[in-house]
């Protein structure tokens, strides 16, 4: 099920991609380089347009597809987005 691009968990996933990539993703050059980075890490193909629309303010998708969320999660070492989400949310369950 797609997740709103403004969701805090999507923001956190994008921040984790930037950490793994080694710098903020802001410029057209960054968009191109992160496409190769994602391919090298996850063996998945993502278009430059998809990356641009994920990271460029004012051009965001309203929702991010499961496929993209899974690819991004694999890029940072998780098997899929649900695993990433569980890893992030689990520590906070003790405080509810």
Residue by residue, DSSP assigns the chain as: --EETTSHHHHHHHHHHHHHHTS---SHHHHHHHHHHHHHHH-----HHHHHHHHSTT---SEE-HHHHHHHHHHTT-SSHHHHHHHHHGGGGGG-
pLDDT tens for 39-60 read 999 999 999 999 999 998 777 7
Extract the residue ranges of the chain whose pLDDT is less than 50. Answer: 93, 95-96
According to the model, what pLDDT value does residue 60 have? 77
pTM of the model: 0.88
According to the model, what pLDDT value does residue 16 have? 96
According to the model, what pLDDT value does residue 96 have? 47
């Amino acid at each position: 099920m797609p997740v709103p691009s403004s969701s805090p968990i999507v923001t956190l996933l994008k921040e984790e991609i930037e950490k793994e990539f080694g710098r903020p993703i802001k410029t057209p050059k960054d968009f191109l380089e992160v496409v190769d980075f994602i391919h090298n890490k996850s063996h998945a193909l993502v278009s430059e347009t998809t990356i641009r629309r994920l990271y460029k303010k004012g051009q965001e998708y309203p929702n991010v597809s499961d496929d993209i969320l899974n690819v991004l999660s694999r890029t940072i070492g998780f098997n899929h987005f649900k695993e990433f989400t569980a890893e992030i949310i689990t520590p906070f369950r003790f405080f509810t």
